[in-house]
């Protein structure tokens, strides 16, 4: 079997995660921590791309990596217009939109820019895979009930798709043949109905729809929410910040749980007043999974639980006991974004998929 070396770039606020793969096997996995004062010198996040690109190249050279052996570079996808899932070549239209930051400013916008800069230098292709803006929702799923508001697809597409492919393979099916309900249980929680390779309905995990999460409110009674917005307690920006970063479990316990291990410990304590909140979190997740099963007309090959919270056996059990009548449950704790990015590029290099071009789909 031919061996392909793939460099993966996953930018964060103050660091750049990198990984070098030979086919599916990681050779190097590391995080490059950047000088915070240096980052403040740039006028915007995307203006950092050349600095970070040079840092990545310098790191690889110092590690003795032969850059001429690289077959491709892959970056984490950023805030682009809605697109179908898949692996995309990084083209001029994509870079132009990321530089303009028309869809918002976020460190993930750097992924494609850094990947392209390195790949252009080496004269090899560059890609992104399944960014958060993947939108495959059915038209019927986008109807909100209020004409000027349309339901939007914003979810953990990369982990959803990668886990869906893995589960389908274990079920003896292609992802494009399977009907799955996938619940990503992390800092944000998104639950999607996957039908024949498309996520035809999913809650918006960024702007507070669906179950509450560790920091986000999820769906709220809109009458009470409107009253709170006009109470005079919060400005517009403060209100949005409250719902996104100071709600959910954090707002009840005045802290953010330290992932699944904290939840596992809390659920194991007798007479713990916090148990109700964790049980409510599991309850709302199970309720959303049940809702997704109706989207698939009850024809569900499997329910998949993934993300950091899936490491907690007690928490997973709370969900399973409410939904195991729907379908078999498969648990894949954690997420490996770098691995998922590399696998997306491998499918293209092996000609199992054709790379897509950004800008082909009409919005």
Q: What is the CATH number of the domain that holds 227?
A: 3.30.420.40
Its pTM stands at: 0.91
pLDDT reading at 5 higher than 90: yes
96 and 189 fall within a common domain: no
Kindly report the number of other CB atoms within 10 A of residue 158's CB atom.
25
Residue 219 domain flag: yes
- Does 218 lie in the same domain as 127? no
Phi and psi angles of residue 237, each rounded to the nearest 5 degrees, phi first: -65, -40
Residue 208 in this model has a pLDDT that exceeds 80: no
Domain count, the chain: 2
Closest CA to 136 of 182, 178, 85: 85
Closest CA to 336 of 8, 5, 112, 49: 8
pLDDT band at 362 (very low <50, low <70, confident <90, very high): low
Together in a domain, 63 and 48: yes
- pLDDT of residue 159 exceeding 80, the answer is yes
Residue 193: which H helix or E strand, with range? strand 189-195
Domain containing residue 120: 5-135+338-357
Residue 203 is assigned to a structural domain of this protein: yes
Are residues 317 and 350 part of one domain?
A: no
Residue 142 belongs to a domain: no
Helix or strand run (H / E) with residue 200: strand 198-202
User: Is residue 239 scored above 80 in pLDDT?
Assistant: yes
Reported for 253-261, long-range contacts at CB under 8 A and 24+ positions apart, including other chains, are: 253/277, 256/214, 256/215, 257/214, 259/308, 259/309, 259/311, 260/308, 260/309, 260/310, 260/311, 260/312, 260/315, 260/333, 261/311, 261/312
- What value does the mean pLDDT of the chain take? 95
With 0-12 / 13-18 / 19 or more C-beta atoms within 10 angstroms meaning exposed / middle / buried, residue 43 is exposed
Q: Please name the helix (run of DSSP H) or strand (run of DSSP E) that holds residue 179, with its range, or none.
A: strand 179-185
Higher pLDDT, 260 or 45: 45
Of 312, 217, 225, 298, whose CA–CA distance to 261 is shortest? Answer: 312
Does 352 share its domain with 216?
no
Q: Are residues 104 and 183 in the same domain?
A: no
The residue with tokens 């979190």 is 281
Tokens at 60, concatenated: 């690889």
The answer to whether position 147 is within a domain reads no
Is residue 33 domain-shared with residue 72, that is, in the same domain?
yes
């Amino acid at each position: 079997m031919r061996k392909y070396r793939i460099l993966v770039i996953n930018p964060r606020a103050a660091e750049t995660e990198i990984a070098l793969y030979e086919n599916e096997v990681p050779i190097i996995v590391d995080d490059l921590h950047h000088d915070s004062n240096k980052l403040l010198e740039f006028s915007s996040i995307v203006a950092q791309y050349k600095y970070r690109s040079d840092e990545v190249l310098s790191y690889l050279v110092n590690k003795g990596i032969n850059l001429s052996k690289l077959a491709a570079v892959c970056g984490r996808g950023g805030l682009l217009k809605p697109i179908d899932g898949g692996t995309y070549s990084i083209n001029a239209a994509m870079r132009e939109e990321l530089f303009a930051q028309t869809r918002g400013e976020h460190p993930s916008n750097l992924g494609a820019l850094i990947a392209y800069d390195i790949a252009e230098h080496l004269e090899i292709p560059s890609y992104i895979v399944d960014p958060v803006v993947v939108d495959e929702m059915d038209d019927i799923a986008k109807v909100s009930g209020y004409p000027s508001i349309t339901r939007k697809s914003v979810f953990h597409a990369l982990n959803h798709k990668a886990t869906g492919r893995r589960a389908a393979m274990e079920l003896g099916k292609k992802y494009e043949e399977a009907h799955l309900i996938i619940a990503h249980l992390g800092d944000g929680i998104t639950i999607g109905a996957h039908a024949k390779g498309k996520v035809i309905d999913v809650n918006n995990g960024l702007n507070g729809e669906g179950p509450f999460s560790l920091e986000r409110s999820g769906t709220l009674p809109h009458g009470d929410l409107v009253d709170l917005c006009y109470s005079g307690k919060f400005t517009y920006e403060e209100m949005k910040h409250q719902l996104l970063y100071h709600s959910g479990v954090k707002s009840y316990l005045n802290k953010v749980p330290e992932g699944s291990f904290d939840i596992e410990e809390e659920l194991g304590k007798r007479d713990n007043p916090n148990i109700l909140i964790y049980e409510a979190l599991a309850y709302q997740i199970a309720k959303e999974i049940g809702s997704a099963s109706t989207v698939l007309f009850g024809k569900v090959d499997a329910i998949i639980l993934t993300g950091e919270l899936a490491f907690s056996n007690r928490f997973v059990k709370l969900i399973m006991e409410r939904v195991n009548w729907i379908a078999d449950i498969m648990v894949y704790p954690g997420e490996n974004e770098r691995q998922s990015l590399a696998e997306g590029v491998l499918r293209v290099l092996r000609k199992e998929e054709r790379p897509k071009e950004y800008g082909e789909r009409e919005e």
